Structures are given as C-alpha cells and as structure tokens.
Amino acid sequence: MNRKSPDDRSLGGLGASRELMLWYNQIVYVPFGLTSSIIENWVLIKCFFYLAVANDQFPDAIPPPARPGPARPVPARPMPGSRKAAGGRVWPVNAMKNPNDMGAGTGGKATLTLPEAVYEDRQLMVITKPNGWLSQADGCGDRPDALEWARRRVADNRPQGGRPFVGLCHRLDRQVGGLMVIAKTSKAAARISAQFRERAITKVYAAICLGRPDPPEADLSQDLLRDGCVTRLPRGQESGTPCRLRYRVLGTGTVDGARVARLEVELITGFKHQIRAQLSSIGHPIYGDGHYGAPGTAPGGEAIGLCSTHLSFVHPISRERMSFDCPLDKFWPFARFVAD
C-alpha cells in the first residue's frame, strides 16, 4: 500500500491506509478483546475492506481536492416544453416556425403553437396537436412531435421519476392539426387501438377545399393505394384498399381571395392521406395541399385546410362514452375563412 498523509483523501475521518491498518490490527486481531461476536468481527472486516479499497486500490473513486481555475459548465437539462434533437442541440418547441401565426391582422391569426391537453386522467390524455407537428418522432430530430410532448408532460407530474409510458393510438399528418388521444398505460393503449381497428371510434374532420363539391352531401367509397409519398387511386390491374368517408358541405366563402367550401368529413375507414386523396379525386383538393393538386399557399408546407375536430370513443377502463370537440379558430386556414 502507498504511504499517504492522514489528510490526503481522508474518508470518514479515518485517514489513509497506514492509519486503517493500525486500526485494523488493534481492533480485529485482538482475540475476543474489544469484540466478542463473530458478527461484529465480520462487520469490522467488511468496513476495513471497503475503506482500504476506496483509499488505495481505486483512488479515483474519491475525487481529489478541487484545483483553482475556471469552473466547468454543467450541461443544462432540457426544460419541459423543449426537446433534445439529434446532434445534442436543445431547442424550444415553441420556437419552431408554425403556420398558425400566418394570420392577416388580429382577425386572421390563429394562436395554437404548442399542444394543449383537453382531458387527462390516469389512463389517457386527449390533446390538440398544432399544424406542423409530427404525431411521433421520425428519427430526424428536427421537428417537434406530440408523443414526446405528452411524455414530458407525464414525467413532469410523475413523483417517482423515470421514463413514463405513453402510447400512440393513431396519427395525424404533420400538416393536420386537431384532436388526438394518447394512452398513458399499455392496457389503455391496447384497448383504444382495438377500437380504432374495429372502427368503433367516431372521427370527424373539418376541411376547406377548393371549389364546391356537388352533390353537397355524399359518401365516397374508393380503393386507395400508396405510391411513394402520396396516396392515389389504382390504375389498370392494380389493387388497393377499400376506403370510405362521408362529407357534408357546411358553407362557401373565400380564403385570401380563393373560392372555397367548408366541409364536415366523417372518416369511416382509416388510410394514410385518405381524406386528402379522396377529395382530390373528385376535383376538390384540400386548400393548401400541394401534394394533391391545390396551390401550396402555406409557407413551408406546414399546414393544410384539414383539422380533426371531433373524437368519440369508449374509455378503456370505465367503459363510458367520451366525446371531445376542438374549436377551429386556432388553426390555419380556418381562422382566415370569410363566409359568403
């Protein structure tokens, strides 16, 4: 063992290894002297072993005295409402560009830039997702997502700490805002997801489309398939997935001078970009949806005229029917719609 001064890396006031050895010889090796119990001897040997190892065998286990000089900065923990992106960069989620701020004066400016919790209990939460937010992270790390926001919200209110469970039961496209349900337990996630698969959940959207659909109320039943990043109708011998929705015209008007119609759309089946593709197939694409033939009027393509406004489902534990509605004045381009 290395000889050290009593003041060098002292632990518990016992000094260095020399003092430990003296203490050990005087106490432990005196047969039945100061100790009369095998258990007491075992405890003392155990204490000596740990102290000796800490002082000599692993000197780095006890930090050396602080040296004079500039203090090393401690990395800050991301605050709630922020997210650490790929590459270690921490950015506030409300600093991301958001098309909801693209209003014309105070009367046309939408206000939702962060998700809001509409309802929350121990099993689930219902939130409103802003346009431009992902439902779930896509691995790029450069866009905020609703699932991570929900996880941080649960963690901030979780006294036991740790990484809480949150489960995504369904998705909204990045450009689509509105209501989402997120499970907080695995049981709730399984039961809510089963309701989506069994089409037991009522999903109603508000849409602004170019022109005015005729007839003003109809069911659309078409086969759809994915083709790269878009959804389209099958061609020739191609086969697709049967999809169905029901729409109703609520009124007509203008958005920034463009003639549009406001629709209520009930989604009966669920397919990626289903509403966008089916309305485009009848010649009335959603306003701002450049992927499906409408002018890309939203800067950066962060929003389109589609919003999830109504959700109704059975609570996974209480079995009660729950219904939620979302106001449209917080979303682009609904805040800029001028009725006839």
Give the chain's domains with CATH numbers. 1-67 (no CATH), 98-339 (3.30.2350.10)
pLDDT of residue 10: 40
- The long-range contacts involving 3-12, CB below 8 angstroms and separated by at least 24 positions, are 4/55, 9/55, 9/59, 9/62, 9/64, 11/51, 11/54, 11/55, 11/62, 12/51
Q: Say whether 41 sits in a helix, a strand or coil.
A: helix
Q: At what angle do helices 17-27 and 38-52 cross, to 10 degrees?
A: 170
Q: Write the pLDDT tens digit of every residue in 275-285.
A: 999 999 999 99
Q: Per the structure block, which two tokens stand in for 2?
A: 């290395």
Of the chain, the end-to-end C-alpha distance in Å amounts to: 92
Q: Quick one: which H or E segment has residue 309?
A: strand 306-314
Residue type at 225 in one-letter notation: L
Q: Write the pLDDT tens digit of every residue in 168-192.
A: 999 999 999 999 999 999 999 999 9
- The long-range contacts involving 2-5, CB below 8 angstroms and separated by at least 24 positions, are 2/56, 4/55
330 and 115 Cβ atoms separated by less than 8 Å: no
pLDDT of residue 256: 86
Which residues of the chain have a pLDDT value below 70?
1-111, 141, 296-301
Residue with tokens 């997801």: 193
Rounded Cα distance between 280 and 183, Å, is 33
**Total length of the chain:** 340
